[in-house]
Amino acid sequence: MSRVFHRHLKASYPTAVAGDGPYLIDAAGKRYLDACGGAAVSCLGHSDPEVQAAISEQVKRMAYAHSSFFTSEPMEALADFLVDRAPQGIGSVYFVSGGSEAVEAALKMARQYFLEIGQPERTQVIARRQSYHGNTLGALATGGNAWRRRPFEPLLADTTHVSPCYAYRGQRADESAEAYGERLAVELEDTIERLGPRRVMAFVAEPVVGATLGAVPAVPGYFRRVREICDRHGILLILDEVMCGMGRTGSLFACEQEGVSPDLLTVAKGLGGGYQPIGATLASARIRDTIAEGTGFFQHGHTYIGHATACAAALAVQRAVEKRGLLEQVRARGEALRARLEQRFGDHPHVGDIRGRGLFLGLELVADRASKEPFDPDRRLNAAVKAAAMDQGLMCYPAGGTLDGRRGDHVLLAPPYIVEEDHLDEIVDKLDAALQQAL
C-alpha cells in the first residue's frame, strides 16, 4: 500500500516516470497524450530543454534566498517581463507558489488597500456561482463550486455569489447575448446596492471559467459592464486567470480579449508550465503605491515567495512561449481542434455544447441534447470518461459543476501549446473512443 496520502485513497495510479513533449510516460512504458495539460498547467510540454537548462543553471548558482532578506535576479526579471506585457494599470507582481495562494494574496491586498485609504468597512466579496478560485479556505470561500465547498461550509467566510455568465444554460431563448450580459450586470449592481456599496471590497471572476464549467467565456461586453459597475462603486475587480491566463486562450492574459484591465490579476499554472510550482498576483500601480506610501508593508507572506528557481523556470517558459510564437500557435491549433471537435461531436447525442477559446475547450455532456437534461450524478460519468481516456492513453480533465448546486458533467481540453495537427487527430480519436466506452 502506498504511504502517500493520495487525494483519491481508493484509486490506484500509474507511476509517471518521464515526459516527452506533449506526452507523459508511465513506468510500464505506456504513453499518455496530455490533452489537458494536467489541469491546464503544461504549456510547453513536459521535456523542454531550454527550461531544463535554466532550472539547472539557477540551482547551481543559488536555488533559493528568503524574500525577507534578499530579492533575486530571476524574481526581478520575471516581474519586469510580466508588467511590461500586463494589462493597463498593472504595476507590480507578488510571487507565490500556486493559484490558491495567488487568490489569497489578492483578497488580502484588496483588504489592506481599503484599510490604507480609510475605508475599513469594505469587507464584502462578491463572486459567482459555479466558479473555482482554489482550495485554501479564503479562496474556497470565494469560489462558488457547491461540491467543493460543501464539507467545509462552516469554515468559510461569508461571500455573496451572483450568477455566472454561462450562455448555454443561462441565456434565455428569446434573449440576445447582449441582453443576457446586461441582465447579469443589473443583477450584480442590484446585489451591490443590497449589500451597501461602501461595504463591498471586491468582485472576483474568471474571465473564462475553467474547472467548474469547462472553458466558458463571457458574452461580449459583459466584463466591460462589470468594470464600469465596479468603478462606479469604488469596488476592486479581481480577475482570476490562474487557469485561463498565460496564453491559454490565445492572448497572454485572457482579459485582453474582453478589453478590460483588472485591479488585481491572479495567474499560476501556465506561468511555470509545471516545471516549478509558481503563481503570482499582479497588482495595479495604484494598489501597490497606496500600500508603499502607507504602511509600506503588505501584511501577508509565505516562505517561498519569489523562489529563485521557480522564477527562473517561469521566465524561461515565458520567454520560450514568446520567442517561438506560441500564442499564434494557440490560436491556430485552437481553431483547428475546435473544428475537429465540432465535426466529430457536433451531432453527438450526448454532447450538448462545444465551447472555449484558444487551446482551452470544453464539451458539456448531457443525457439529452434537446432538453439539456444532465446525466444521473450517481453514474459518476466524469470519472468514467477520465478512466476510459487513460485506458486509451489520453489525459482529459473531467469535471462537474455545470449545474447550479448539482453536478453536471464536462470534459475540459487544454493541451500544451506545442501540439501539432496529428496530435489534434489523436486527441479527437481517443476522446471519441473514451466517450463510446464510458457512455
Is the separation of the CB atoms in 292 and 267 below 8 Å? Answer: no
Is the separation of the CB atoms in 418 and 21 below 8 Å? Answer: yes
CA-to-CA distance for 406 and 400, rounded, in angstroms?
8
Which residue lies nearer to ligand PLP by CB, 48 or 240?
A: 240
Does 240 participate in binding ligand PLP (rule CB under 6 A)? yes
Contacts with ligand PLP by CB under 6 A: the residue count is 15
Q: Which of 34, 104, 189, 206 binds ligand PLP (CB under 6 A)?
A: 206
Does 37 participate in binding ligand PLP (rule CB under 6 A)? no
| Of residues 255-284, those binding ligand PLP (CB under 6 A) | 268
Q: Determine the distance from the C-alpha atom of residue 261 to the mean position of all C-alpha atoms in its chain, rounded to a whole number.
A: 17
Contact range with ligand PLP by CB under 6 A, out of 27-35, 127-135, 256-264, 413-421: 127-135
CA-to-CA distance for 66 and 46, rounded, in angstroms?
28
CB atoms within 10 A of CB 52: 13
Q: Which of 122, 133, 225, 333 binds ligand PLP (CB under 6 A)?
A: 133
Contact range with ligand PLP by CB under 6 A, out of 69-77, 206-214, 327-335, 415-423: 206-214
Q: What stretch of H or E contains 357?
A: strand 351-357
DSSP E strands: which ranges in 191-245?
200-205, 208-209, 216-217, 236-240
Q: Which of 33, 140, 211, 235 binds ligand PLP (CB under 6 A)?
A: 211
Handedness of CA 421, 422, 425, 426 (dihedral sign): negative
Task: Tell me the closest approach of the beta carbon of residue 438 to ligand PLP, in angstroms.
Answer: 23
CA angle (151 as vertex; 145, 157 as ends), nearest 5: 70
Residue 245: strand, helix, or coil? coil
Which residue lies nearer to ligand PLP by CB, 240 or 426?
A: 240
Which residue, among 341, 90, 62, 117, has the nearest Cα to 239 in the 3D structure?
90
Q: Which residue is nearest to ligand PLP (CB)?
A: 99
Q: Which of 24, 33, 35, 39 binds ligand PLP (CB under 6 A)?
A: 39
Is the separation of the CB atoms in 266 and 106 below 8 Å? Answer: yes
Contact range with ligand PLP by CB under 6 A, out of 64-72, 126-134, 323-331, 367-375: 126-134
Contact range with ligand PLP by CB under 6 A, out of 9-17, 95-103, 153-161, 386-394: 95-103
Contact range with ligand PLP by CB under 6 A, out of 11-19, 20-28, 94-102, 223-231: 94-102
| Of residues 96-125, those binding ligand PLP (CB under 6 A) | 98-100, 103
**Buried b / exposed e across 100-117, counting CB within 10 Å, b at 16+?**
bbbbbbbbbbbbbbbbbe
Task: Tell me the closest approach of the beta carbon of residue 139 to ligand PLP, in angstroms.
Answer: 6
Which residue lies nearer to ligand PLP by CB, 41 or 419?
A: 41
Q: Residue numbers of the site for ligand PLP (CB under 6 A)? A: 39, 98-100, 103, 132-134, 206, 210-211, 240, 242-243, 268
